[in-house]
Amino acid sequence: DVPEIKAAREYVMVLQQFMITEIGGQSAIVDPNTIYPSPTILPQIAINGQVCPTITMRPGEVQRWRLIHAGIADQIPLQLDGFTFHEIAVDGLALGTSVERTELQLFPGYRSDVLVKAPQVSDVYMLRSQITDSRKSIRKTTTSQSNVLRVVVAGAPLDMPLPRPATLKNFATLTDSDVPSDEQLSNTRQLTLNFGNPPSMPHAINDMPFDPSVTPFQPKVGTAEQWELHAPGHPFHVHVNPFAVPVPQGDPNPNRWVWRDTYFSIDDSTPLRMWFRTFDGKTVMHCHILDHEDQGMMQAIEIMPQTVTSWELPDASGNLVSSDSPEGLSTLVILHRGLECEHCAGQLKDLAQRRLEFKDAQVRLIAISPVLPADPQQFSFKSVGQLEFPMLLDRDKQVFKRFGCLDRDGA
């Protein structure tokens, strides 16, 4: 929806790493399980299955590159001669700004959306994977520079603008204001996640190899948690809910936090903060070096539904109605915005038409909203007959909060 982004030609670039060595005078691809004991074997980087393919740009053209690190060997630090990366999203989550970078650090599982603007000078420019310091390498080895992509800039010049960072603000998927505060974490657990390789269990989390029947972490819907990540050499990935990571000191990102679903920590410990707002059920977290995951470096998470305690709310006449169901009945709670919302009113009318079905199924209906009309007769929906279930007022949205039924602005 941003004009400057919409006008840009888009490329999806899947980066993979093939471990190649010389066997009998011929090149051969190495079994991934032998990568880590053999740091001298260097990865050959391919984009969409091609080694150093070529793309074209016109001078002054802006393109959107959607980069996906689908390799398992090591990070890929990318630099593009004569260009600056303008990062607008990570892991599929829009940043709400544009971050200028001269180098992109991609670890296995990372995704980065960048805008690139070609120089006005026609020439051949190289996207390169730079030398990796062994202290920052997953395999603890220094890697050499290699060419990844050839960019040919030629043709009639264009003058395509880049979006101003401020124009992207409203497109942020999540912001600093969405990060759970210390107060919101006060009643939740702070978990320690140790990814490691104990001798008896080569690939495990907290000394436990993967067992789909075991769910050591059971957060509740509507809660927030902070996890302390200890995963040297292992990119951490979690399904369903993204997490917030503090922006490193000196990073050009103007935000205090960045939202991701995959993270590689060079430091000993990294705090991850996340909400479990909407979905319950089982999911997983794992190392995104996928042969590590396949050998057991994964754990199941079971997100538990929120338990809602009993409550009483008034109807339009001020009479209190309890959530406790009469014996033999179940209660279906309908949370809605109010009758001024045409969609909500239409849904309530549909339920009213089906009220006999619910009665036969021994289900009681209760509708709750933050605002009620002053005239109780407005509840009757005369066109479809009497509504015949209570319309209750939850002015402070307490029941909404208990069910986790609020958007991020509290509405």
**CA 237 remoteness from chain centre:** 10
- Note the pLDDT tens digit of each residue in 206-235: 888 899 999 988 888 888 899 888 887 788
Contacts of 324 (CB under 8 A, 6+ apart): 310
Q: What is the pTM of this model?
A: 0.74
Q: How far is CA 367 from CA 350, 374, 400, in A?
A: 13, 16, 12
Position 108 scores a pLDDT of 92
**Structure token pair of residue 43:** 């990865």
pLDDT digits (tens, 9 = 90+) for 247-289: 988 999 999 999 999 998 876 678 899 999 888 899 999 999 8
Mean pLDDT across the chain: 84
Structural contact between residues 75 and 132, judged by C-beta atoms closer than 8 angstroms? yes
Residue 381 pLDDT > 50, yes or no? no
Answer for the pair 368, 313: CB distance below 8 angstroms, yes or no.
yes
Three-state SS for the chain is CCHHHHCCEEEEEEEEEEEEEEECCEEEECCHHHCCCCCCCCEEEEECCECCCEEEECCCCEEEEEEEECCCCCCEEEEECCCCEEEEEECCEEEEEEEEECCEEECCCCEEEEEEECCCCCEEEEEEECCECHHHCCCCCCECCEEEEEEEECCCCCCCCCCCHHHHHHHCCCCHHHCCCHHHHCCCCEEEEEEECCCCCCCEECCECCCCCCCCECCECCEEEEEEEECCCCCEEECCCCEEEECCCCCCCCCCEEEECEECCCCCCEEEEEEECCCCEEEEEEECCHHHHHCCCEEEEEEECCCCCCCEEEECCCCEEECCCCCCCEEEEEECCCCCCHHHHHHHHHHHHCHHHHHHCCEEEEEEECCCCCCHHHHCCHHHCCCCCCEEECCCCHHHHHCCCCCCCCC
Inform me whether the pLDDT recorded for 167 exceeds 90. Answer: yes
- pLDDT category of residue 385 using cuts at 50, 70 and 90: very low
Answer with the residue of higher pLDDT: 399 or 151.
151
Burial class (CB in 10 A: 0-12, 13-18, 19+), 309: exposed
Give the per-residue pLDDT at 401. 76
* pLDDT value at residue 42: 65
User: Is the model more confident about 389 or about 14?
Assistant: 14
